[in-house]
Amino acid sequence: MKRSVARARAMQMVYEWELGGDGGEDTKLGLLEIKPDESEADYVDSLVAGVTENKADIDAKIEKYAIGWTLERISRVDLSILRVAVYEMLFASVPKGVAISEAVELANTYSTDKAGTFINGILGSIMRGENA
C-alpha cells in the first residue's frame, strides 16, 4: 500500500476510535483490509498510536488555531483528518507541507466540498504559528 493509502486507513481508524470503536484487528483486517505483513501497515499503527497517545496536545493545537471553532463543532471526519495531520506535522518526521497536502486530499475525498479549504487553513496556521 502507498503511504497516502496508509494515511487514509489511519484516519479511518482514528475516526472509528473517535466514535467509540476500538480500532482493533477486526477493523484492520475486515473493514480496512490491512494485512499485518503489508507494506506501510506499521505506519498505520504508528499514526493511530501517535494520535491516541498525543490527543491532548494535538487537540490543544487544533483548538488554538481553529479560530471561532470548538472541537465539538468540527465534524468527526474533519477532526480525524486534522488529528492525523497535526500528529505528522508536530510529532513525526513528515514535512509539514506534505502533511497538509495529504490532509487536504483526504478532506476532498472523505468530507464536504469546503472541508479541504477549512483544513488547509487550520493546518497552515499551525505551520506558521509553530515556526514563528
Average pLDDT over the chain, rounded to an integer = 86
Contact of 11 with 78, CB cutoff 8 Å: no
Residue whose entry in the numeric block shows the C-alpha cell 473517535: 18
Per-residue model confidence (pLDDT) at position 114? 94
Q: Report the predicted TM-score, pTM, of the whole model to 2 decimal places.
A: 0.88
Query: Mean pLDDT across the stretch 89-96?
Result: 92
Residue pLDDT, tens place only, 3-36: 788 898 889 888 887 776 655 555 545 455 555 5
Phi, psi of 98, rounded to the nearest 5 degrees? -65, -45
Residue of 16, 4, 83 lying closest to 50 (CA atoms)? 83
